[in-house]
Structure 1
Amino acid sequence: MTTTTTPSIFTPLSIRSTTFRNRLWVPALCQYSVEKRDGVPTDWHLVHLGAFAMGGAGLIMSEATAVAPIGRISPHDTGIWSETQVEAWSRITAFLHERGAVAGIQLAHAGRKASTHRGWAPEKTGTVSAEDGGWQTVGPSAVAFGAYAEPRTLSVEEIHAVVAEFAAAAKRAITAGFDLVEVHAAHGYLIHQFLSPLSNLRTDEYGGSLENRARLVLEIVRAVREAVGDAMPVFVRFSATDYAEGGWNQEDTATVSGWAREAGADFFDISTGGNVSGVTIPLRPGYQVPFADFVGTTAGVPVNAVGLITTAAQAEEIVATGQADAVMLGREMMRDPHFPLRAAHELGVEVDYWPEAYVRARWR
């Protein structure tokens, strides 16, 4: 039996020229699976991301995709600094489009958290040595993240080069067939490192006041907007708190989100943490939703929520009550790439994007 009122998570959403078939989205899920260490996505990435499209997701975001070789979190990350990478991504975006999903790419630079061993290989942790293929990391200041190697402080000229790398990557994203780009300013990576006074000790125009610490992200947003033109949506992912006294917080996030929207961003992907080691994060179902709600309400910007969202009812409540405009489910989507199809069944919604070859498996 179908519901007479379409649940909020199955209501389409349009941003600029892009329409999402629903509001159940896949966030950037780092795979650390480029075995050749050349940044070129492989069959693994095609199948991994393609499964979510077959499962009915509205938006599928690539993993954190580096705008430059030294911006990779690990040597095994994907990139979009070369034409070879563009060609490989094109095959993936074509499949996502074939299955009706919006293809997004998260443009990233890991800064001081780059050159690390891949996250799912617990036998090795921390910074990869030069002998093992690692490299000198960079950051706003020579302040290490926990036990990672100390980064080299970026010069102003190098900061300008980073802005240009994001813009060039955004142009390549268009060629690769992506429908939107997301600037990764969260989880303690380079842009977040500039935003937080705990990692940014600069005394020039990129440090000190909130306006100065936000200068890099705003320059990147403006450059990316210019690179992609008026039609393509531009997202920004922020961590709304460092979970540390004196650090970046939700008030700062709301303020800078407003500035970023003026600079050309359309939508804000709100997460938390990642910039300070050893902090206590209050993990519980939906623990990051209040941060998204605060930023969206305070700044008057559209947002999505993330963080231990695992059921259709929970996702529907978040969107239906206006706490967020969409939800991103990471671990739950990995456990069940067909979560949107299952959610439609549970909420009594008829959707027309079941894969034809799978129709006989529909719940009755």
Structure 2
Amino acid sequence: MAPQDLNHGAPGLEYFTPKHLTSPGTPFSSSKATTPTPTLFTPLTIRSTTLRNRVLVAPMCQYSTAPTGPTTGALTDYHIATLGHYALKGAGLVFVEATGVQANGRISPNCPGLWSDAQIPALRRVSDFIKSQGALSGIQLAHAGRKASTCAPWIAGAQRTQGGTRKVSVRADVDAGGWPEDVVGPMGGEEWTWDEKKLDDESGGYWAPRALSEKEVGELVQDWASAAQRAVKAGVDVIEIHGAHGYLIHQFLSPVTNRRTDRYGGSFENRTRVLIEIIQAIRKVIPEGMPLYLRISSTEWLEETDEGKKYGSWDVESSIRLAKLLPALGVDLLDVSSGGNRPAQQINMFDSKDYQVRIAARIRSELQKENLSLFIGAVGLITEAEQARDIVEEGGAAILKNGEAEIAKEAQAAVAVTQSKDGNEPLADVVLVARQFMREPEWVLRVAWQLSLDVAWPNQFLRVRFPKL
């Protein structure tokens, strides 16, 4: 065979890009290996998809789509350049950021959407490239609820109050492409603004929502299903429902932010109703072999606040109760995050490395006690190779070998909770990494190198691969 015939193109594209000799991020088998391949770098099959490794790129808002005109909400070449690079450098699955199922469900006017068939071709182009690099493509379908119609964070960061305080959020008015009159939530009125600040308060960064009617909630459920159908048409491999971080689904789940008196408020069954209806509606319209993920805030850290004590809050016990319902509904993986529903939450997430991992481990353990099958994803500030490995490896006792002693003790306790009689159980099945990929798109390859694991690199980068340790 002539050398020119050996450089095959990746199939399914209308342009040429080389098919990799070996899918990047997958380990080479060797008879000389003295230690087994870390679980982090073993494949995982979920329905008809197989992850080449267990490092997933979490959805990350980029605020980089057109706010008006015929391409409103459609992905662009920017998303190929960023998301495609993570796929090129070995991530197992790459998620497109929170994507609005309705136009008023975007966080900002510059966030993507999938409420129109016109947005399908751009998503397909991004998805096709991600898959051409050997990764799976995913999309997170979302509705921001009362956190919608805000400006990109760098807009907020450039503004200060009269007192000189830097603003965290800025409301997007009509002249900025926003929809101040159509910000919605379970509850309505100025007292339900996310940051609890009145509209005449210059330090406020969010609009007051109006309450959704029961009819509108039903329409919302169908719009979620329609967006899922469009994702299928775009060739996406995995769909995730965003039910976390104080966005609309989370607002319905929490007794702090949902005090409705109709069938969507009050009891646990009523507050979870909209999520369950969304899951059922999506599962009906996507292929049987297509995985469905769900991201939740496992706790909103409001238990010790005045509101939490008075009304109750969404906590870990609530998440465990919900998780037990998910396998029968057709959810395949629970992506465990936390916080975001009220500024009064009682934790600084940036000062703790493994709190979400420990919660994920607890949920996983509780499911296993009832022989329920649900994959668990751990997300949040996973930046060290050894930490990522130990989360998915049996006996993850050394999550924070170099961290604070107290956190290490808490990690040991999480391991003890998940231990089975025959040995240690993993804390989670996959890890979802966000900001570290923005700093280092080659994070998967760097992790493998730190673990002394020989993995495949992209064809085009073989000449600069890290030397073997």
Which band: TM-score by shorter chain?
A: over 0.9
Shift of 1:279: 2.3
Matches within 5 A, 1:268-287: 268-282=334-348, 283-287=351-355
**Equivalent residue for 1:112, pick from 116, 122, 146:** 146
Letter in 2 for 1:356: N
Please tell me the root mean square deviation across aligned C-alpha atoms, in Å: 1.3
What is the alpha-carbon distance in structure 1 between the residues aligned to residue 387 and residue 134 of structure 2? 24
Structure 1 residue 3 displacement after superposition: 5.0
Q: Deviation of residue 350 (structure 1)?
A: 2.3
Stretch moving more, 244-253 or 161-170: 244-253
Q: Greater CA radius of gyration, 1 or 2?
A: 2
Verify: 1:140 aligned to 2:171, yes or no: no
Task: Show CA shifts across 1:219-269 (max 9, x none).
Answer: 000111111031100000000111112211011011112212221111000
Asked if 1 retains the 8 angstrom alpha-carbon contact of 2:66 and 2:74, the reply is: no
Q: Contact 1:72–1:110 at 8 Å: present in 2 too?
A: yes
More displaced, 297-306 or 87-96? 297-306
Stretch deviating more after TM superposition (112-121 or 282-291): 282-291
Question: Relative to structure 1, is the Cα distance of residues 254 and 159 closer, same or farther in structure 2, using a 3 angstrom cutoff?
Answer: same
> Partner of 1:248 in structure 2?
314
Out of 277, 287, 311, the residue aligned to residue 219 of structure 1 is: 277
1:341 is matched with 445
Matched AA of 1:33: S
2: distance between equivalents of 1:155 and 1:69? Answer: 17
SS in structure 2 of the partner of residue 120 of structure 1 = helix
Q: Would you say the 8 A contact 2:323–2:334 is kept in 1?
A: yes
Aligned to 2:61: 30
Q: Which amino acid aligns with 1:132?
A: A
Aligned residue runs from structure 1 range 190-229, under 5 A: 190-229=248-287
Whole-angstrom distance in 1 between the partners of 2:361 and 2:78: 35
Q: Is 1:310 equivalent to 2:383 in the alignment?
A: yes
CA distances 1:325-352 after superposition (whole Å, capped 9, x unpaired): 1111111111101111111122122223
Number of positions where the alignment pairs a residue of Structure 1 with one of Structure 2 = 363
Structure 1 unaligned regions, length at least 5: none
2:243/2:295 contact within 8 Å kept: yes
Match of 2:164 in 1: none
Alignment of 1:1-364 (within 5 A): 2=33, 4-37=35-68, 38-121=72-155, 122-123=157-158, 125-135=169-179, 136-142=182-188, 143-146=192-195, 147=197, 148-245=206-303, 246=308, 247-282=313-348, 283-300=351-368, 301-320=374-393, 321=396, 322-352=426-456, 354-364=457-467
1:297 CA displacement: 1.6
Is contact 1:3-1:347 (8 Å) kept?
no
- Kept after mapping to 2: 8 A contact 1:65/1:72: yes
Task: Provide structure 2 residue ranges, at least 5 long, that are not aligned to the other structure.
Answer: 1-31, 160-168, 198-205, 369-373, 397-425
Kindly provide the amino acid, as one letter, of the partner of residue 203 in structure 1. T
Amino acid at match of 1:19: T
Q: Deviations over 1:204-227 (max 9, x none)?
A: 110001111000100000111111
Counterpart residue identity of residue 40, structure 2: I
* CA–CA distance in structure 2, aligned partners of residues 27 and 196 of structure 1: 24
Structure-2 separation of matches of 1:42 and 1:65: 14
CA distance in 2, matches of 1:270, 1:277: 20
State how far apart, in whole Å, the 2-side matches of 1:269 and 1:92 are.
Answer: 23
**TM-score (structure 1 length as normaliser):** 0.97
Checking the alignment, whether the CA contact within 8 Å between 1:2 and 1:348 is kept in structure 2 is no
**Would the aligned equivalents of 1:113 and 1:145 in 2 still touch at CA under 8 Å?**
yes
1:97-153, Cα deviation, whole Å (9 max, x unpaired) = 110001010000001111011123213533212333211200111122113221110
Between 111-120 and 69-78, the greater mean CA deviation after superposition: 111-120
Q: Name whichever of 11-20 and 245-254 sits farther off.
A: 245-254
Contact 1:186–1:237, Cα closer than 8 Å, also in 2: yes
State the SS of the aligned residue for 1:199: coil
State whether residues 52 and 135 of structure 2, in contact with CA within 8 Å, keep that contact through their aligned partners in structure 1: yes
Q: How far did 1:311 drift? A: 1.1
Shift of 1:36: 4.1
**Percent identical:** 45
Measure how far apart 1:284 and its partner are: 1.7
**8 A contact 2:94–2:138 mirrored in 1:** yes
Q: Which amino acid aligns with 1:270?
A: V
Give the distance between the partners of 2:390 and 2:245, measured in 1 at CA.
26
Distance 2:34 2:335 in 1: 29
Give the superposition deviation at 1:51.
Answer: 0.8
In structure 1, distance between residues paired with 2:298 and 2:241 = 15
User: Quick one: which amino acid aligns to residue 152 of structure 1?
Assistant: R
Native 8 Å contact 1:141 1:199 kept in 2 = yes
Alignment-derived partner of residue 15 in structure 2: none
